[in-house]
């Protein structure tokens, strides 16, 4: 017990010494901080020294040059920020467009395969003799109705996914949407007018899924280029 009591007393004696050391260190740190603050005269002398080191005749020119430098850095940072912002905006728009295109045209391959099935249904209907179609046979009539219904249902399903038929009768020939199979001499209609459709084409959105196979006119007048007429101003002068 005696030893424990003596140890406790020694510890109590050491604590004031530790507190005094801590206070002394804090006071020393405060003194150093106060000493680091320059007086106006010292600050002016240091500024003059910096100006002379940079080759300036007086501190005003040095501060003006520093201000110009900081303004230039600020403008450069602003330009970089605006450029990065524009790049991100372009990336966002391009991503949105790519996502929209992927959503709209992702079924292009599947739709093209379904068109082949629709073509086979058309060939099946064309293969039925006219005598059988008009012969009054109920089984043949039921078969024809079933095939036609299947074909219509398939095309309606494709239309829900923005796949539409191209039937360009009397339209101007468009090489992006039509495929010319033959020419038809006709002087009564403008040249390159679609007069016959051998096989309907299909488009998905604004893209051609399958061009329409057509016959175009030949020998007619060429389509004149559209020329914009000058408009009159408020004074009535052309």
Whether the per-residue pLDDT at 82 is higher than 90: the answer is yes
Q: Which residues contact 59 (CB under 8 A, 6 or more apart)?
A: 44, 47, 48, 50, 51
Residue 177: is it exposed, middle or buried by C-beta count within 10 angstroms (0-12/13-18/19+)? buried
Cα 83 from Cα 90, distance rounded (Å):
11
Region 86-98 average pLDDT: 90
The tens digit of pLDDT for each residue in 26-63 reads: 656 555 554 456 567 666 667 667 766 766 666 777 77
Q: How far apart are CA 79 and CA 81, in angstroms?
A: 5
**Torsion angle of alpha carbons 138, 143, 149, 151, nearest 10°?**
-150
> What is the value of pTM for the model shown?
0.52
Question: How far is 30 from 128, CA to CA, in rounded Å?
Answer: 108
Q: CB of 172 within 8 A of CB of 194?
A: yes
Q: Which of 221, 214, 157 lies closest to 189 in space, CA to CA?
A: 221
Q: Are 214 and 198 in contact (CB under 8 A)?
A: yes
Reference 165, options 108, 115, 113, 105; nearest CA is 115
Q: What does the pLDDT read at residue 233?
A: 46
Cβ atoms 211, 205 nearer than 8 A? no
Measured CA angle at 121 (ends 199, 116), to 5 deg:
60
Options 1.10.10.10, 3.40.50.300, 2.30.22.10, 1.10.1380.10; CATH for 163-223 is 2.30.22.10
How far is Cα 63 from Cα 114, in angstroms, rounded to an integer? 77
How large is the greatest C-alpha to C-alpha distance in the chain, in angstroms? 133
> Is the predicted pLDDT of residue 113 greater than 60, yes or no?
yes
Average pLDDT over residues 168-181: 93
Higher pLDDT, 170 or 41: 170
pLDDT given at position 54: 66
Question: What pLDDT, on the 0 to 100 scale, is given for residue 87?
Answer: 93
Position 70 confidence tier, pLDDT thresholds 50, 70, 90: confident
Instruction: Judge contact between 44 and 33, C-beta under 8 A.
Output: no
User: What pLDDT does residue 184 have?
Assistant: 92
Lowest mean pLDDT across 38-42, 142-146, 167-171, 207-211: 38-42
- Return all residues near 218 (Cβ < 8 A) that are at least 6 apart: 183, 184, 185, 186, 191, 192
Say how many Å lie between the first and final Cα of the chain, rounded: 121
């Amino acid at each position: 017990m005696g030893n424990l009591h003596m140890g406790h007393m020694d510890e109590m004696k050491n604590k004031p010494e530790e507190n005094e050391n801590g206070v002394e260190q804090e006071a020393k740190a405060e003194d150093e901080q106060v000493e680091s603050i320059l007086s106006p005269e010292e600050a002016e002398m240091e500024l003059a020294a910096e100006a002379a080191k940079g080759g300036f005749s007086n501190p005003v020119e040095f501060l003006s040059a520093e201000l110009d430098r900081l303004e230039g850095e600020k403008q450069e940072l602003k330009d970089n920020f605006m450029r990065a912002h524009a790049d991100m905006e372009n990336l966002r728009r391009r991503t949105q467009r790519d996502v929209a295109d992927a959503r709209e045209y992702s079924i292009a391959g599947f739709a093209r395969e379904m068109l082949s099935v629709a073509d086979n249904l058309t060939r099946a209907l064309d293969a039925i003799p006219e005598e059988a179609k008009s012969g009054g046979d109920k089984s043949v009539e039921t078969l024809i109705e079933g095939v036609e219904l299947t074909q219509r249902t398939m095309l309606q399903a494709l239309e829900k996914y923005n796949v539409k038929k191209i039937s360009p009768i009397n339209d101007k020939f468009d090489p992006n949407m039509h495929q010319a199979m033959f020419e038809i001499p006709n002087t009564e209609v403008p040249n390159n007018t679609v007069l016959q459709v051998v096989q309907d084409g299909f488009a998905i959105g604004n893209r051609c899924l399958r061009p329409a196979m057509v016959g175009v006119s030949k020998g007619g007048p060429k389509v004149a280029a559209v020329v914009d007429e000058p408009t009159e101003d408020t004074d009535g002068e052309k």
